[in-house]
């Protein structure tokens, strides 16, 4: 083997190792970004204050976090209530605020709890939390896009095809 061929083979091995190293680094950065989306208190596990937000009649609850000083939060709250009314059979809905008064409805529960808001609300307002059974915080997203929420709920509302067992006689 000549020196040139050995150097070329070594260069390709180095390129492959760098590629694998970059892929591993990229995977770590993505997992860190996913973890950072959750509020600081929720990264440690199930937050005690989140247990009150656990869904009661379905397997998930969408919670709109509103800051009392946020004008936009108050503008989208009626749209959130309307979506909650239309999709009450798909998921539970709630509004979480640190203070203030918000009217509740049969489709939207209202929680005014400063501790829960401080521990669970994202750094932006409004925020949208997806809470699973037992108060597990599943996801956090910006809450201003009600069209995206409606698309998610429309996808969930599609009737599932159930397979039934049929009797086979030989």
Alpha carbon of 102 to those of 68, 99, 112: distances in Å? 10, 9, 8
Q: Considering the domain boundaries, does residue 168 fall inside one?
A: no
Give the Cα separation of 164 and 30 in Å (integer). Answer: 41
Question: CATH code at 45?
Answer: 3.40.30.10
Q: Considering the domain boundaries, does residue 163 fall inside one?
A: no
- Please give the residue range of the domain that contains residue 49: 40-155
Q: Considering the domain boundaries, does residue 17 fall inside one?
A: no
Instruction: State how far Cα 38 lies from the chain centre.
Output: 8
Number of domains composing the chain: 1
pLDDT digits (tens, 9 = 90+) for 35-86: 666 666 665 555 677 788 888 888 889 999 888 888 888 888 888 989 999 8
Q: Considering the domain boundaries, does residue 1 fall inside one?
A: no
pLDDT digits (tens, 9 = 90+) for 90-119: 889 999 988 877 777 888 888 888 888 888
Q: Considering the domain boundaries, does residue 102 fall inside one?
A: yes
Q: Considering the domain boundaries, does residue 77 fall inside one?
A: yes
pLDDT given for residue 31 in this prediction: 76
């Amino acid at each position: 083997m000549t020196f040139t061929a050995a150097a070329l083979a070594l260069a390709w091995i180095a390129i492959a190792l760098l590629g694998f190293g970059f892929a591993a680094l990229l995977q770590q950065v993505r997992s860190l970004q996913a973890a950072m989306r959750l509020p600081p208190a929720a990264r440690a596990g199930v937050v005690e204050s989140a247990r009150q937000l656990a869904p009661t009649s379905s397997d998930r609850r969408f919670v709109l976090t509103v800051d009392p000083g946020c004008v936009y939060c108050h503008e989208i709250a009626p749209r959130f209530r309307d979506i909650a009314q239309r999709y009450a059979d798909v998921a539970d809905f709630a509004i979480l605020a640190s203070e203030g008064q918000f009217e509740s409805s049969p489709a939207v529960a209202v929680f005014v709890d400063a501790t829960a808001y401080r521990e669970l609300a994202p750094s932006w307002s409004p925020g949208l939390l997806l809470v699973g059974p037992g108060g597990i915080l599943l996801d956090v997203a910006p809450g201003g896009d009600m069209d995206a929420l409606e698309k998610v709920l429309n996808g969930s509302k599609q009737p599932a095809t159930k397979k039934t067992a049929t009797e086979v006689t030989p």
